[in-house]
Structure 1
Amino acid sequence: MALLKNGAVSAPPGAPTAARALTSGDPFAAGGIAAERGANRYGVCSIEDFPPGINDLSATHEDAGGFYNYVKQFTAPNFWYTDGGVLSWIYGEQYDDWQGTYGFDACVAEYHSGHGTMDGNGVFWMPMGGTWGGTAWASSNDMRLGNEVARYLFFSTCLSLRIGDGNSPIRTWDAANLGLRMIFGFETTSVDSPNYGAYFFSKWNANGHKFGKAWLDASWDIDHHQAPSVVACGATQAEAQDRLFNEGAFNTAAASKNWWWWTWYDAAKSISPPRVELPGTPQTARFAPHRLSPARLSELAGHYGVRVGGGQAEPAMGPHGLVLGDGQGGPRLTVDHRGVREITFAETDGSGRDAPSAAEAVRIAQDAVETFGLADRVDLVADAVRHQYHAGGTPEEVAEPRVRETHVVFTQLVDGQPVVTPGLGEVRVAIDGSGTVTTIADATREVDRLTAGAPAAPPSTAGAGRDPSTVDEALDAPLQRLLRRLSAGGRVPAEVRAIPDSTTVGYAMRGDDGAPVARRTVEVDCGEGLAKRYVLEAPLR
């Protein structure tokens, strides 16, 4: 195992103190776009209100708004079409650069949030907000993007960038791609969440400006059971791989599609027994407040060997947190606005070696947890493993998937129950093909105290107010609320299925408080071959 040990490291003489606020950076490359094109940097579409026969969504406008509101700090997007304004002409070759301003080939980076699916022939389909030209759908077969302006496509939809079951980004997007650099999407169905767009830029600001990693990590903080995916193109294998793993500024130059390379996180796989028993006497938790004093930051820096220059590391919190050791030739530490600490020790090994097996990765990760004392003040259990895969090739030949990194997740226990909020109350250890611990993310919080839960309200009628005796009973109320909301548009979902390994009982983190809940991710039939995932959560009292 190659593991960087803790211990203070001094910066070279004269080096500046390496504490910097993570402010909102402009994601566009210097130089901009040709003057005759105007701004033409961003275009956004989102649909919540769908035609009859398709269940509506509830979070796509806020999702797209997270992307829109971030980029408009620097450049006003060309357009944001919503609901009935999102029509098939936007995506078809004839009008996708209408008036040099409107459409999915009129801007460098385009973001779409809505429903999506993929058929058995690898064709991606999106229902529109209304009918235009006799159709209420757009498909990847109809698109020819990149021969005008588009370089980056974000599809915040289900099944937009499939890898498995005989699919590949080349199969779906080769004909449509006439100059694209990167496409962002999902291998699986995805959760209806308002946070993808905003989380993407928050992760990008914190990770040293890497688009691919930001998209994957944003999805992880929304739900652990979906599989986000990213593909990049280039003239050579090396160019496509470098773009996939390192590109971090929107660029106007067209990319060759000789080579494609893609990466994805698989759904987290449990390695510990599920916790689905309701607690006898639920308690609420109060977590200790974050401490980000100069002394605490210097302590963290010394603990992980982060170079901070002379003196103490002064707090410099920005809207996305702060960073220590950036560009100093050693480990890099970020602290986000939630207090999550992420330490990058090394770049991922790019030699092509597979990351270790799950069992070996758990052993290496446990050594890292012990070395850095991550379980000294909190209770942790090795709970899940996820893999970052990568693969790629040309239209003639595609390489088999390889494991780029294995990530071991240690979940924090509070009074014997796990924290169940995605991205919080956990330690994640990433191990690459050389067996090196490349990154540790510590999202744990020390527990200050536990108190008895708030008493339930007295029943209003005889027999009412009975406490649930099983997880299914506890989750029935939020499920029924979801179904009533989805049915309000006139269509009753025909099927609801629980996502495997997603049912759990534990603590939801809300600020400094932890509340006992039952939680489950479900996939709901939405009509016309579409589906969407939703998170059910029920308080336990």
Structure 2
Amino acid sequence: MALLKNGAVTAPPSAPAAARALTSGDPFAATGVAADRGANRYGFCSIEDFPPGISDLSFTHEDAGGFYNYVNKFTAPNFWYRDGGVLSWIYGEEYDDWQGTYGFDACVAEYHSGHGTMDGNGVFSMPMGGTWGGSAWVNSADMRLGNEVARYLFFSTCLSLRIGGGNSPIRTWDAANLGLRMIFGFETTSVDNPDYGALFFTKWNANGRKFSKAWLDASWEIDPHQAPSVVACGATQAEAQDRLWNEGNFSTAAASKNWWWWTWYDAAKSIREDRLELPGSPQTARFAPQRLSPSRLTELAGHYGVRLDGGLPDDALGPHGVALGAGPSGDGGPRLTIDHRGVREITFAEADGTGRDAPSAAEAVRIAQDAVETFGLADRVDLVADKVRHQYHAGGTADEIADPRVRETHVVFTQLVDGHPVVTPGLGEVRVSIDGGGTVTTIVDATREVERLAGSAPAAPSPGREDTRNPSTVDEALDAPAQRLLRRLSAGGRVPAEVRTIPDSTAVGYALRGDDGTHVVRRTVEVDCGEGLAKRYVLEAPLR
């Protein structure tokens, strides 16, 4: 019989921990919070309604809410300020720990979702929801965080943690950092999306509960054309690197900023020519339902060499999925997790830590193809090598910064359905990660077997609108969602001056919704939001 401890199902002490349900773990489970501080664990700010001259956002409350709803199961957060309640005093030294309860230095983990930008001097700035003390903006040069309670900052904004173009986390955050352990943000502009906060904990629970990997993977699954980033600090290079790669529980202890180390995913790069022709007869696909019976779990474990010394307990498969095997940090064998959607993630090894660069893209594709063949991942689905993404890392001190190195190369094989790709990020694909030693460290299999294909039912045009059911080009198909986006943004009082297409982001293929797939055109665009701000949006149009 399994035991329930700190929100996680574990095997009894006398039995090997070979299988456990993916339940909601408390990220403070392994640490304590100083009694004289009360809870002081979490604080939130989110802004959708901005002052005139700045385009409003649509999903920041849902974004912050996903993080909030998860941690609120364990501890009630100190505060959640929204829209006009988000003011500059929250981030300034004078009031950032107001009454020991409120402000961005009053809690261990702080989450802000909204607009952000960075100037040519590496100063990060955010517009507030209103004006306080004559100011409607805050910037990193004026912040002093970590001398009181803050240890982890999550900036779900554009350009909050830049590492390119002469920028570095040290350049932006050194003066502001007075005890922070980690900062999470973006090198690029980011997509206005409701799922960052919730996906962060989904990934954290599924991938061995490591903060940096959870943040990067959650952002990748929302849109592979943005570049998420994370930095960790420590007294030594080894401490900063260990924190970056392995920290997975929130700690109240302040960190030295002698050393900084950071990592990021670059935007995905296509390695095959895009097919952007519209299908003559769009179809719908029905995918076989996921069946994760005990016998199927045992079969998958055996297929990937995952040890099940204690067998499968009756409650191994929880509502969030299942984890099989102790993994690289345990007995050295592979670890398999399967989330609630049926996505399989197999971890064979930790990435090589010797500093060697990962293989070239061409060599990585060859190694990845061998792995796909070895495990028969294309036996029942049609896969094509489609994209390459690199995980970089770099770091140093205020005096010297090392050049970026490639820690892992991720090769993405996209699933084809009747010759057309699945275009929903994170689904209908196999991702193979290769480290500097040429070792396959992780395989993520998010493919679905096709049960049947059928013609799409024609949809009647809306009353009073032109019939656009049969567009002849991608641009024509995307015109209606683009116009809807512009009308929505303009309703806030400002008409965007520019909309540009993100390179390699246009695709024609199947979007997955549950067990069904429908033909769509998809594209990521970046919109001018005024006052030097920008935001990305995903346009998607069904084809009928």
**Normalised-by-shorter TM-score class:** over 0.9
Distance 1:193 1:404 in 2: 28
Kindly state the Cα deviation for residue 16 of structure 1 after the two structures are TM-superposed.
3.3
2-structure distance, mates of 1:318, 1:87? 41
Q: Is the 8 A contact 2:124 2:160 kept in 1?
A: yes
Three-state SS of the structure 2 residue aligned to 1:485 is helix
8 Å contact from structure 1 (residues 84, 129) kept in 2: yes
Instruction: Give deviations 1:296-341, integer Å, cap 9, x for gaps.
Output: 1111011000001255675623243110012443100000011000
Q: Which residue of 2 aligns with 1:442?
A: 445
Structure 1 counterpart SS, 2:299: helix
**Partner of residue 184, structure 2:** 184
Report the 3-state secondary structure (helix = DSSP H, G, I; strand = E; otherwise coil) of the residue aligned with 1:308.
coil
SS of the counterpart of 1:185? strand
**1:5 maps to what in 2?**
none
Which residue identity lines up with residue 153 of structure 1 in the other structure? L
Higher relative contact order (CA 8 A, sep 6+): 1
Choose the corresponding residue for 1:469, options 458, 472, 476. 472
Partner Cα distance (1:123, 1:460) in 2: 50
- Cα distance in 1, alignment partners of residues 30 and 333 from structure 2: 27
Is 1:370 matched with 2:381?
no
Alignment of 1:298-447 (within 5 A): 298-309=298-309, 316-326=316-326, 327-447=330-450
Question: What are the residue-to-residue correspondences of 1:93-172 with 2, within 5 Å?
Answer: 93-172=93-172
Deviations 1:436-465 (A, max 9, x none): 000000000000000000113268679734
The answer for the alignment partner of 1:255 in structure 2 is 255
Counterpart CA distance in 2 for 1:251 and 1:149 is 10
Distance 1:43 1:137, change over 3 A: same
Q: CA deviation at 1:34?
A: 1.7
Name the structure 2 match of 1:22.
22
SS of the aligned residue for 1:96 comes to: coil
> RMSD of the alignment, in Å?
1.4
* TM-score, with structure 1 as normaliser: 0.96
Distance 1:537 1:25 in 2: 34
2:214 is aligned to 214
Give the deviation of 1:220 after TM superposition: 0.8
CA contact (8 A) 1:18 1:325 kept: yes
C-alpha contact (below 8 Å) 2:63/2:198 kept by paired residues: yes
2:174 aligned residue: 174
* Equivalent position SS for 2:280: coil
Alignment of 1:451-466 (within 5 A): 451-457=454-460, 464-465=467-468
Deviates more, 1:495-504 or 1:289-298: 289-298
- Partner SS state of residue 245, structure 2: helix
Distance 1:106-1:462 versus aligned 2 partners, 3 A rule = closer
**CA displacement at 1:28 relative to structure 2:** 1.0
2:224 alignment counterpart: 224
Contact 2:358 2:438 in 1 (8 A): yes
Structure 1, unmatched stretches of 5+, are: 1-13
Counterpart for residue 42 of structure 1: 42
* In 2: Cα distance, 1:316 partner to 1:310 partner: 11
Residues 363 and 530 of structure 1: is their aligned pair in 2 closer, same or farther, counting only changes over 3 Å? same
Q: What is the one-letter code of the residue matched to 1:371?
A: T
Secondary structure of the equivalent of 2:233?
Answer: strand
> Once the 2 structures are TM-superposed, how far is the Cα of residue 466 of structure 1 from its aligned partner?
5.3
CA contact (8 A) 2:19 2:312 kept: no
SS at 2:438 equivalent: coil
Question: Given that residues 47 and 129 in structure 2 are in contact (C-alpha distance below 8 angstroms), is that contact kept between their aligned partners in structure 1?
Answer: yes
Question: What does residue range 61-72 of structure 1 map to in structure 2 within 5 Å?
Answer: 61-72=61-72
Tell me the equivalent position of 1:11: none
Secondary structure of the structure 1 residue equivalent to 2:222: coil
**2:389, 2:410 within 8 Å by CA — same for their partners in 1?**
yes
CA–CA distance in structure 2, aligned partners of residues 251 and 100 of structure 1: 18
Amino acid at match of 1:234: G
List structure 1 segments (4+ residues) > 3 angstroms apart after TM superposition: 14-17, 310-315, 458-466
TM alignment of 1:41-60, pairs within 5 A:
41-60=41-60
2:519 corresponds to which residue?
516
Q: Which residue of 2 aligns with 1:8?
A: none
Deviation at 1:213, TM superposition (A): 0.3
Q: Is the 8 A contact 1:18 1:313 kept in 2?
A: no
5+ long unaligned stretches in structure 2: 1-13
Give identity over the alignment, percent: 85
Q: Residues of 2 paired with 1:87 and 1:459: CA distance?
A: 43
Taking structure 1 as reference, are residues 320 and 312 closer, same or farther at Cα in structure 2, changes over 3 Å only? closer
2: CA distance between counterparts of 1:361 and 1:87? 48
